[in-house]
Amino acid sequence: MITESGYQGGENFDLRDVLLKGRSLRLADRTALFQDFLGQLRRNEENLCMRCLSSPADREVTVADPATGMTRTMVMFGSNNYLGLATHPVVLARAAKALDAFGAGLGGPPLLNGYTMLHRELEERLAALKGTEAAMIFSSGYGANVGLVSGLTGKADIILYDAYSHASFCDGMTLSGAQSFLFSHNDLAHLTTMLDRATGRPHGDLFVGVEGVYSMDGDLAPLDRILPLCRQYGAHLIMDDAHGMGVMGAHGRGTAEHFGLEGQIPVTMGTFSKTFTVTGGFVASSKAIIDYLRFFARSYMFSASLPPATVATVIAGLEVLEHEPERLTRLHENIAYASAGFRSLGFPVVSSSAILPLRVPEGMDIRKAARAFHDRGIFVNSVEYPAVPVSQQRFRVSVMATHTKEDIDRLLGAVAEIWSLFGYESKEHDDERRRRNAA
Ligand SMILES: Cc1ncc(COP(=O)(O)O)c(C=O)c1O
The answer, yes or no, to whether residue 111 has pLDDT greater than 80, is yes
The answer, yes or no, to whether residue 28 has pLDDT greater than 90, is yes
307: confidence class by pLDDT, cuts 50, 70, 90: very high
277 lines ligand 1 (CB under 6 A): no
Same domain, 126 and 246: yes
The answer to whether residues 416 and 344 touch, using CB atoms and an 8 Å cutoff, is no
**Residue 211 is among the residues annotated as catalytic for this protein:** yes
Other C-beta atoms closer than 10 Å to the C-beta of 344 total: 21
Same domain, 170 and 96: yes
> pLDDT tens digits, residue range 35-89?
998 888 888 888 888 899 999 999 999 999 888 889 999 999 999 999 999 999 9
Mean pLDDT, residues 406-429: 88
Mean pLDDT, residues 127-134: 98
166: confidence class by pLDDT, cuts 50, 70, 90: very high
Same domain, 230 and 375: no
Q: Which residue has the higher pLDDT, 439 or 228?
A: 228
Predicted TM-score (pTM) of this structure: 0.93
Same domain, 241 and 357: no
For residue 95, the enclosing domain spans 89-323
For residue 297, tell me if it sits in a domain.
Answer: yes
438: confidence class by pLDDT, cuts 50, 70, 90: low
Average pLDDT, the chain: 93
The answer, yes or no, to whether residue 1 has pLDDT greater than 80, is no
141 lines ligand 1 (CB under 6 A): yes
> pLDDT tens digits, residue range 322-351?
999 999 999 999 999 999 999 999 999 887
Query: What integer pLDDT is reported at residue 24 of this predicted model?
Result: 87
Residue that is last in its domain, among 296, 323, 350: 323
For residue 233, tell me if it sits in a domain.
Answer: yes
Number of domains in the chain: 2
**Residue 80 is among the residues annotated as catalytic for this protein:** yes
Angle at 389 (CA atoms; ends 387, 391), nearest 5 degrees: 135
262 lines ligand 1 (CB under 6 A): no
For residue 18, tell me if it sits in a domain.
Answer: no
Residue that is last in its domain, among 323, 340, 364: 323
Out of 236, 274, 332, 403, pick the active-site residue.
Answer: 274
Same domain, 59 and 158: no
The answer, yes or no, to whether residue 439 has pLDDT greater than 60, is no
% of the chain surpassing 90 pLDDT: 80
Same domain, 302 and 357: no
Report how far ligand 1's centroid is from the alpha carbon of 365 (Å).
27
398 lines ligand 1 (CB under 6 A): no
Q: What are phi and psi of 62, to 5 degrees?
A: -110, 125
Mean pLDDT, residues 110-126: 98
Q: What are phi and psi of 324, to 5 degrees?
A: -125, 65
Report how far ligand 1's centroid is from the alpha carbon of 241 (Å).
9
Same domain, 167 and 277: yes
The answer, yes or no, to whether residue 142 has pLDDT greater than 90, is yes
For residue 19, tell me if it sits in a domain.
Answer: no
Report how far ligand 1's centroid is from the alpha carbon of 281 (Å).
8
Index of the ligand 1 atom closest to the CA of residue 140: 11
334 lines ligand 1 (CB under 6 A): no
Residue that is last in its domain, among 292, 323, 354: 323
Same domain, 312 and 185: yes
**Residue 241 is among the residues annotated as catalytic for this protein:** no
Same domain, 316 and 334: no
Q: Can you tell me the distance from the alpha carbon of 207 to that of 235, in angstroms, rounded to the nearest whole number?
A: 5
The answer, yes or no, to whether residue 269 has pLDDT greater than 90, is yes
Query: What integer pLDDT is reported at residue 42 of this predicted model?
Result: 87
Same domain, 151 and 289: yes
Query: What integer pLDDT is reported at residue 22 of this predicted model?
Result: 82
**Residue 185 is among the residues annotated as catalytic for this protein:** no
For residue 314, tell me if it sits in a domain.
Answer: yes
**Cα 343 to Cα 363, 407, 426, 433, distances in angstroms:** 21, 17, 10, 10
**Cα 59 to Cα 75, 82, 290, distances in angstroms:** 6, 10, 37
- Our mutation pick for probing the ligand 1 site, out of 170, 215, 243, counting the most ligand atoms within 8 A of Cβ, is 215
The answer, yes or no, to whether residue 434 has pLDDT greater than 50, is no
Q: What are phi and psi of 220, to 5 degrees?
A: -105, 150
Give the CATH number of the domain where residue 338 resides.
3.90.1150.10
The answer to whether residues 254 and 212 touch, using CB atoms and an 8 Å cutoff, is yes
Same domain, 102 and 237: yes
**Residue 324 is among the residues annotated as catalytic for this protein:** no
Q: Can you tell me the distance from the alpha carbon of 147 to that of 157, in angstroms, rounded to the nearest whole number?
A: 16
For residue 7, tell me if it sits in a domain.
Answer: no
For residue 429, tell me if it sits in a domain.
Answer: yes
Q: Can you tell me the distance from the alpha carbon of 222 to that of 183, in angstroms, rounded to the nearest whole number?
A: 14
- Our mutation pick for probing the ligand 1 site, out of 80, 171, 271, 388, counting the most ligand atoms within 8 A of Cβ, is 271
For residue 283, tell me if it sits in a domain.
Answer: yes
242 lines ligand 1 (CB under 6 A): yes
Residue with CA at minimum distance from ligand 1 atom 7: 141
Decide: helix, strand or coil at residue 26.
coil
In 3D space, the residue among 277, 243, 189, 210 whose CA is nearest the CA of residue 357 turns out to be: 243
Same domain, 197 and 70: no
